[in-house]
Amino acid sequence: MVFSSAILDTYMSNVQSSKIVAYASLFFAAIGVVKYVGFGLKLTNLFLQLYILSGKNLKKYGAGKGAWALITGASDGIGKEFSLQLAKKGFNVVLVSRTESKLVDLSSEINRKYKVETKILPFDFAENKSSDYAALAALIEPLDVTVLINNVGQSHSIPVPFIEVDDTELTNIIAVNDIATLKVTKLVIPKLIAKKMGLILTMGSFGGLFPTPYLSVYSGSKAFLQHWSTALAAELKPNGIDVELVLSYLVTSAMSKIRKSSTLIPNPKMFVASTLSSIGLQRGAQGRTATSTPYWSHAIFQFFVESTVGIWSGIVSNQNLQMHIAIRKRALKKADREKKGL
């Protein structure tokens, strides 16, 4: 049978179209395989880091050998727990916080329980005084500081639209969360470089991981720490210094105003224990260099959101907005009742 030219052209065109469809199908199938294999590897890595693998031993940083750890925001909550648990592991501790009476009490407790040395320095980081930083530099100058815990932090008193943020609160949040962290770290780094080893842990927050309406200044101040810590980690790695940003969801504390712990909200003791046992592991912060989400439920929560809707999605942003509007309404109603003496 002899095909006409038109029929042959149509046949050849259909063959070419079929090839294109076949190649496209293979291409997208390959992308799907890579995507799901990648997800499987990340999920496996998350499981291993949460339940199998161990973090770096604190002896690497001089625990039990006369080394010192410096903790900012040391007198309450997470900072107090870092102070207690590092002292228990054999570090002498420099305790820096705003309230001197709390520092004295904590120092006495540590001396009594763990028989290590302590130094205290009352320091209101919101004031950003050069004299206070000079006093801190003089205090640590003779000490073998190998660990720095950048824990001091400040949030908004209640969720608030950015346009209504008090100028003093705005300035204080940046001074405490960012400027203080940078200045204290800059004081300690020369000591770590001289030792060619050391550890810098900086407290981040899910408030910085997820853009958070009604906490915009706090959210931005914590997001800044992500880029800074990752960049600093690359700079200091050749000197044998480990740098990590530590991410957390809510923890029971004065700042979070949450008193009761739950599956998703640990107390400071639980959170700090998970942090110190997982140094060097990303856990929930899969794919984020020099970052760790150490607590198991926080890690799973972060992994789930990043693997599904994504932290920058409108869904997450709107959920955060509605949640903090509701929190603000409750806080304003409570303040009104207290004002009326009810």
Task: List residues with catalytic annotation.
Answer: 218
**Exposed e or buried b for every residue in 95-116, given b needs 16+ CB within 10 A?**
bbbbeeebbeebbeebeeebeb
User: CB-based burial of residue 169 (10 Å sphere; 0-12 exposed, 13-18 middle, 19+ buried)?
Assistant: middle
First-residue to last-residue Cα distance in the chain: 99
User: CB-based burial of residue 268 (10 Å sphere; 0-12 exposed, 13-18 middle, 19+ buried)?
Assistant: buried
Count of beta carbons in the 10 Å neighbourhood of residue 204 = 26
DSSP string, 297-334: HHHHHHHHHHHTT-TTSHHHHHHHHHHHHHHHHHHHHH
Tell me 179's DSSP state: I
Question: Is residue 205 a known part of a binding site?
Answer: yes
User: What angle is formed at CA 191 by the lines to CA 189 and CA 195, rounded to 5 degrees?
Assistant: 115
Inter-CA distances, 72 with 125, 186, 201, 325, 335, Å: 9, 14, 11, 31, 30
- Binding site for substrate, by residue number, is 205
